[in-house]
Amino acid sequence: MVAFGKKLRESQIQEWQGYYLDYKLMKKKLNRYTQQIEVGTQNRHLVLKDFSILLDSEIEKIVMFLLQQQGVLASKLLNLGEQYDSVLQQVDEAKIPELQEAYRSVGRDLLRILSFVEMNAIGLRKILKKFDKRFGYRFTDYYVKTRANHPYSQLRQVCKQVGVGAVVGAISRNLADLQDFQQHYGNYISIYDQPAFSHPDPVLDSIRAAVNRLSNSTSFLHYLGKHALLMGDDLQSPSEDHADDGRYHFMSLLLNLANTFLYMINTYIIVPTADNYSMTLGAAATVCGVVIGSMAVAQVFSSVYFSAWSNRSYMRPLVFSSIILLVGNTLYALAYDLNSISVLLIGRLFCGLGSARAVNRRYISDCVPLKLRMQASAGFVSAGALGMACGPALACLLQTNFKIYKLTFNEDTLPGWIMALAWLIYLLWLSISFKEPSHVTTENIVPRESNSGKIVNISVENGPTQPLLSNSKAKQKYGDGDTDCDDAEEDPAEIQKPVNSIVSAYRLLTPSVKVQLYIYFMLKYAMEIVLAESSVITGYYFIWSTSSVAIFLACLGLTVLPVNVVVGSYISNMFEERQVLLASEILVCIGILLSFHVLIPYSVPQYVSSALITFVSAEVLEGVNLSLLSRVMSSRLSRGTYNGGLLSTEAGTLARVIADGTITLAGFWGESKLLNTTLVPALFICVSSIVATCFTYNSLY
């Protein structure tokens, strides 16, 4: 692995070297602080003051140079504007190509500035993270809060590229106008009037991509892809991407997406009928919580072994998954004629043991080229969302009852038979079309930090949260400041590979990461309560039929993609992700509060509107939560068995298990108290997640 400090030097624009963040100097400072604190010659408050002054000085240097370069570009654009007016007045078409090339040249200069800003922003976030991890302070929280929110903030110039937009707009407008003037002479069309007539320029595309990276602007595709929690690498080289090209196979990717789609159908196809099936086999209706949740219980374990298995193979775990799901669904269907609730639960446990979502995610992360990874990630999320909607919708179509020999086919058993057949067909397709890629042992791949780095939630006012380093071998461990080991706070031998145990993974979880995982737990808990108890609640209060419940759940599922279109294309570009995160949590809380049955008779409008608010808000929350999680999570969790995707999956699966168990336990108090009993813990978890978010809010910068 090439450490970030070395990559920073290699990526610098040579003539601007003296104006970049002095990353090496600040690393030397950290090492010196460590040694001084150990021998008692330095006070921790003086360390904070000294490092703050150094950062302020470095940021001011960057910002002053940035403003100077923006002034140079503005001067060039003014001169080009005069030439532009002259060309229009003289109607000299021969000079248009020359003028266009001049604007493109300014665009290329702007790209250099954007690259300068991006590299400094990454370096700043990394050194702040390194300070927090080295000393255990809440320094980042303090520094960002005091600097970013100040009216004369220079930090915003680095992290938010303030002022660049005007230059981007001038270049974009003039290039597009010149092109339209040339092609539609006598019928001038401005980009502000009819942007559809504008012809994209490669330089403009590059500028937009660079600005989007800096401003965290998103499109629907980009936003949706974040749900897959595939953590990106800093400065990935073209050679690394070409390595992915050799392992990529479109049909294999399609089979992974099909596996995700079928598994989500398998999860939710039984939800509308689980209560009725339980009663048919002699159990209470609320046992549906155990029936639905048993799949999630098994998934807690299957996620780990499938993630480990995918280090060696992709096809074999997918084949195993298909066989296990075929058996599980067959047992689920046979439970009716065997009149055995045990067989029913065993069948669902088998289905959970066949969950290969870890393999699907790892295939995209390891085998899909970087240029296609966002589309593949969005496809992964879309496949899951469509499967979630199709499951209940399919259950709605299975309202029949007939026998073939001694086998019964009705609304309870047909979900099992249909899914068994689907997995059999999938297994045949898999054996014919899947291509096992040349496998690289990902346990030995060295991950790098995500672009945004990681910001830890600790505050200066409260002092350290743990003792300062007291290792007598600090100089050996941290070096003399000339080394490029960017994770010097860890054993150099350990940073060469991803974590190899759940305990090691837990040690890498900072307060910010823990809060984001807790939020993910909360939203999955709230969604599972809404979905899993819907058949019991609507049957008790409104006497809904299975078809009505199925249609209601299908409609909820169908909101996923439209909501992501709105959030990804508009809301995420208007507000910061942390603002959307907090607002979504509050809306989930409001949805839960509106769901309670208190005094007045419980009505369909109250139930439907509260469920819709809770579900949609949780869906919005999931997108921004996973996006922020990928930013604050350690790079060592980007690959390997115990990766960030596995941790989030385990948190969400555990939430579903507890929610389904809560439904069954609440059934002991009777169906009349089921609703409020299950909503109380959901409300408590939601409120506590809001409080935790407020405490870590500034660390999500």
Looking at residue 74, which CATH number applies to its domain? 1.20.58
Name residues whose C-beta falls within 8 Å of residue 157's C-beta, 6 or more positions apart in sequence.
59, 62, 63, 66, 67, 163
pLDDT in tens, 336-355: 999 999 999 999 999 999 99
Phi, psi of 284 (to 5 degrees): -75, 160
- 218, 269: one domain: no
Output 452 or 668, whichever has higher pLDDT.
668
How many whole angstroms separate alpha carbon 372 and alpha carbon 313? Answer: 21
Share of the chain above pLDDT 70, in %: 78
Average confidence (pLDDT) over 53-76: 88
Residue with tokens 């960030």: 644
Give tens-digit pLDDT for 17-49. 888 988 888 888 888 888 887 777 777 778 888
pLDDT tens column, 389-436: 999 999 999 989 999 988 999 999 999 999 999 999 999 999 999 999
Predicted pLDDT of residue 106: 86
**Residue 274 CB partners (closer than 8 Å, separation 6+):** 288, 291, 292, 532, 535
Q: How confident is the model at residue 481 (pLDDT cuts 50, 70, 90)?
A: very low
Give the C-alpha separation, 346 to 329, whole Å: 10
Q: Which pLDDT tens digit goes with each residue over 628-670?
A: 887 777 777 776 677 777 888 889 999 999 999 999 999 888 8
List the single range of 143-157, 477-491, 640-654 with lowest mean pLDDT: 477-491
Q: Is the entire prediction scored with pTM above 0.85?
A: no
pLDDT of residue 531: 94
What's the pLDDT at 200? 59
Question: Mean of the pLDDT values across residues 53-80?
Answer: 88
- Choose the final residue of a domain: 229, 249, 284: 229
Provide the 8-state DSSP code for 569: I
The SS3 assignment for 92 reads coil
Please state the rounded mean pLDDT for residues 535-552: 94
At 77, the pLDDT band (50, 70, 90 cuts) reads: confident
Examine the domain organization and report whether 381 and 507 are in the same domain.
yes
Q: Is residue 513 part of a domain?
A: yes
CATH assignment of the domain containing 510: 1.20.1250.20
* pLDDT surpasses 80 at 687: yes
Residue 231 · residue 648 · CB < 8 Å: no
Residue 85 belongs to what domain range? Answer: 3-229
CA-CA-CA-CA dihedral for 656, 590, 615, 530, to nearest 10: 50
* DSSP states of 306-359: HHHHTTT-SHHHHHHHHHHHHHHHHHHHHHHHHT-HHHHHHHHHHHHHT--HHH
Domain's final residue, options 229, 251, 275: 229
- Give the integer Cα–Cα distance in Å for 343 and 268: 19
Which residue in the block uniquely carries the two structure tokens 């005069």?
A: 82
Q: For the chain, what's the residue count?
A: 701
Establish if 95 belongs to a structural domain. yes
What lies within 8 Å, CB to CB, of 24 at 6+ separation is 5, 481, 482
Instruction: Tell me whether residue 484 is in a domain.
Output: no
* The two three-digit tokens of residue 634, written as one number: 């350690």
Of 229, 247, 273, which residue constitutes the final position of a domain?
A: 229
The CB density around residue 519, as the number of other CB atoms within 10 Å, is 30
524 occurs within a structural domain: yes
Confidence of residue 690 (pLDDT cuts 50, 70, 90): very high
Q: Within a domain: residue 613?
A: yes
- Four-residue CA torsion sign, 680, 683, 689, 692: negative
pLDDT digits (tens, 9 = 90+) for 579-631: 999 999 999 999 999 999 998 899 999 999 999 999 999 988 988 888 888 77
pLDDT band at 442 (very low <50, low <70, confident <90, very high): very low
Domain count, the chain: 2
**Which candidate, 59, 54, 1, places its Cα nearest to that of 27?**
54
